[in-house]
Every structure is written in C-alpha cells, then in structure tokens.
Amino acid sequence: MRPIGLLCMCPKCKVLETCEFMGDKMLPTKRFKQIHNGEAYHDCGSTNPCRLFHISYREFMLARSEEDGNGTISENRQGQ
C-alpha cells in the first residue's frame, strides 16, 4: 500500500500541511498527530480535528483562487 497525501487544515488556526496516510493511519508530522479513528489534531491545542482534503496543497490554492476564497472544495473526512 502506498501512502496518500492529504491536506490537513487546522480549524482553529487555519494552518495547512500535507500529511501522509497509509490506509486510515496517518504518518505523524512535527505539528500534526493522529489521535484516533483517523482524526488528526494540530499541536496548537485545537480540540477539533483537522479537516482533511483529498487534494494537494497546490490544487487547494488553485481552487481557492478560482473560488475567490470562499472554499467550496468538497471535503472528505477519514473514518466517518
């Protein structure tokens, strides 16, 4: 199985980072750590899990500029 890159966005501070997943298991990064059930949490202390996008950072920024910043990108949550 190959890891897939998902874009994680912290709902609290809006930090974006690409995280890799093997199935529903996240490979932890410095700032994003998986707690359970595929939910990743940012280390800023956010109590809400990060939003995950099946899209690359570059695609996200492109789509966002096309949508004029209102972000209508479809969202895919892991494990729910």
- Binding residues for Zn ion, per CB under 5 A? 10, 12-13, 42, 44, 46
Return the number of the residue (13 or 22) whose C-beta is nearest Zn ion. 13
- Are the CB atoms for 49 and 31 separated by under 8 Å? no
Q: Least separation, in Å, of the C-beta of 19 and Zn ion?
A: 13
- Closest contact distance (angstroms) between CB of 31 and Zn ion is 8
Nearer to Zn ion, 16 or 73 (CB): 16
The nearer residue to Zn ion, 11 or 23, going by C-beta atoms, is: 11
SS3 per-residue string spanning the chain: CCCEEEEEECCCCCCEEEEEEECCEEECCCCEEEEECCEEEECCCCCCCCEEECCCHHHHHHHHHHCCCCCCCCCCCCCC
Query: Minimum CB separation from Zn ion for residue 63, in Å?
Result: 21
